[in-house]
């Protein structure tokens, strides 16, 4: 069986380990490799790269991986490995991807591709000029809930789409009264690349662009609701990065989108993230996996009367979209797509240029907050 060597950097972190190593590459290896259009299979052959030798050795042994190293330069110099993947810190990402391109590697990475727009654009341009395959993770597009939204859109269910409402987030514990925080402390430190605007607006850019229409303008208000937290070592620290963002977007075609993102909100909705899409013919609400619809012929007719208890059970007036197909892990799906792109030159649109668009929207969100005004989203020249 043919192999394809993958340098995997940053797999000791939560996302790199769970979604990329275990649920994507290890899962593909367990299935016998990536199936190509000609019926052949190609086996991903990863080398785990990082600074903690003991942890790398432990992961390699646990998941049946033969290779690991703390020598990144040596890994990049090995001609037998064609792809470099990075899921480590955002602030190092652009430099690492640039080094991998210089080494002649195809590159794939987590988002954001940088915390600086100029660096993100320069990296996307370099990747484009190199002729090497390149990509950025855009996992939300492969969530079952949003795939059902795309199916409804393609079927004409919505009619003309009018608006999109998103709610993302949950309460991240402060860590100071007996319950440990469930997110790392760097998320709340500006100096370490933290902040929900940089983190989540990169996601919302590709979700809105791909599902509903290109983003044309943004108005964003950020907040640091919890100014002090306790870190992994039990020490108090100043949480100076934004932990909430309230953003309104104007999309092409007159669609208005509003998405609240917060690590300081308690959940009373269907899921940790929900999107409601309203159209002239129907509406839908999707979470991570499930999706409910309401057609115009099934829409109830409420009458405003504050003096009487509400008689309509509004949750009961929606119908769930059935699971008519099996939905695989979204990260694994995109890994398969990228590997086929490298091996067979299959179509691929999730390039570093798309990653730069995400950084652009996050940068504009931060600027909009600072200047308290709407900002246009201009086309990027990549």
Q: 356 — phi, psi (to 5°)?
A: -65, -35
Return d(Cα 161, Cα 253) in angstroms, integer.
9
**Mean of the pLDDT values across residues 296-319?**
95
Strands (DSSP E) contained in the chain are 2-9, 34-35, 41-49, 67-69, 81-86, 106-109, 134-136, 161-169, 215-223, 228-230, 236-238, 244-251, 256-262, 273-279, 282-286, 291-295, 319-320, 375-376
Return d(Cα 207, Cα 191) in angstroms, integer.
27
**Mean of the pLDDT values across residues 187-205?**
96
Q: Are strands 244-251 and 215-223 parallel, antiparallel or unpaired?
A: antiparallel
3-class secondary-structure state, position 345: coil
Percent with pLDDT over 70 in the chain:
100
Q: 94 — phi, psi (to 5°)?
A: -60, -40
The tens digit of pLDDT for each residue in 99-109 reads: 999 999 999 99
* First-residue to last-residue Cα distance in the chain: 38
The tens digit of pLDDT for each residue in 161-180 reads: 999 999 999 999 999 998 99
Return d(Cα 203, Cα 272) in angstroms, integer.
15
The confidence score (pLDDT) of residue 188 equals 97
**Mean of the pLDDT values across residues 191-195?**
93
Closest CA to 194 of 122, 244, 127, 256: 244
**Are the C-beta atoms of residues 300 and 312 closer than 8 Å to each other?**
yes
The confidence score (pLDDT) of residue 1 equals 83
Q: Within 10 A of 213 (CB to CB), how many other CB atoms are there? A: 18
The tens digit of pLDDT for each residue in 11-47 reads: 999 999 999 999 999 999 999 999 999 999 999 999 9
Hey, CA dihedral for 300, 282, 291, 358, is it positive or negative?
negative
**Are the C-beta atoms of residues 196 and 263 closer than 8 Å to each other?**
yes
Band of pLDDT at residue 72, cut at 50, 70 and 90: very high
Band of pLDDT at residue 218, cut at 50, 70 and 90: very high
Does position 144 have pLDDT exceeding 90, yes or no? yes
Return d(Cα 101, Cα 134) in angstroms, integer.
9
Query: For helices 352-371 and 117-130, what crossing angle results, to 10°?
Result: 170
Return d(Cα 53, Cα 66) in angstroms, integer.
14
Closest CA to 235 of 185, 307, 161: 185
Q: 213 — phi, psi (to 5°)?
A: 150, 150
**Mean of the pLDDT values across residues 60-66?**
97
The tens digit of pLDDT for each residue in 251-283 reads: 999 999 999 999 999 999 999 999 999 999 999
Return d(Cα 72, Cα 210) in angstroms, integer.
35
Return d(Cα 217, Cα 12) in angstroms, integer.
37
């Amino acid at each position: 069986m043919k192999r394809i060597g993958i340098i995997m950097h940053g797999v000791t972190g939560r996302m790199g380990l769970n979604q990329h190593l275990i649920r994507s590459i290890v899962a593909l290896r367990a299935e016998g490799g990536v199936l190509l259009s000609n019926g052949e299979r190609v086996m991903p052959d990863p080398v785990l790269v990082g600074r903690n030798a003991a942890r790398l050795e432990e992961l390699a042994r646990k998941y049946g991986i033969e290779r690991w190293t703390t020598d990144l330069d040596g890994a990049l110099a090995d001609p037998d490995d064609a792809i470099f993947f990075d899921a480590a810190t955002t602030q190092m990402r652009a430099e690492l991807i640039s080094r991998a391109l210089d080494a002649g590697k195809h590159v794939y990475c987590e988002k954001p591709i940088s915390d600086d727009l100029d660096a993100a654009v320069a990296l996307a341009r370099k990747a484009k000029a190199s002729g090497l395959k390149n990509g950025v993770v855009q996992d939300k597009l492969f969530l079952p809930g949003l795939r059902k939204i795309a199916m409804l859109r393609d079927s004409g269910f919505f009619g003309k789409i009018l608006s999109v409402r998103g709610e993302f987030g949950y309460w991240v514990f402060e860590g100071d009264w007996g319950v440990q925080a469930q997110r790392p402390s760097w998320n709340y430190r500006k100096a370490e690349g933290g902040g929900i605007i940089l983190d989540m607006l990169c996601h919302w850019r590709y979700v809105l662009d791909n599902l509903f229409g290109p983003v044309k303008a943004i108005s964003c208000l950020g907040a640091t609701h919890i100014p002090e937290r306790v870190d992994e070592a039990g020490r108090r620290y100043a949480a100076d990065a934004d932990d909430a963002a309230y953003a309104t977007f104007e999309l092409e075609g007159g669609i208005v989108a509003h998405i609240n993102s917060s690590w300081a909100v308690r959940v009373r909705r269907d899921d940790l993230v929900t999107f409601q899409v309203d159209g002239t013919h129907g509406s839908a609400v999707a979470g991570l996996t499930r999706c409910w619809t309401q057609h115009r012929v099934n829409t109830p007719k409420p009458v405003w009367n504050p003096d009487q208890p509400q008689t309509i059970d509004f949750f009961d007036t929606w119908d769930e979209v059935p699971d008519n197909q099996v939905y695989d892990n979204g990260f694994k799906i995109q890994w398969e797509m990228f590997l086929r792109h490298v091996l067979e030159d299959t179509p691929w649109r999730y390039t570093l240029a798309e990653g730069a668009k995400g950084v652009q929207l996050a940068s504009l969100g931060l600027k909009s907050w600072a200047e308290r005004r709407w900002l246009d989203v201009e086309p990027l020249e990549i």
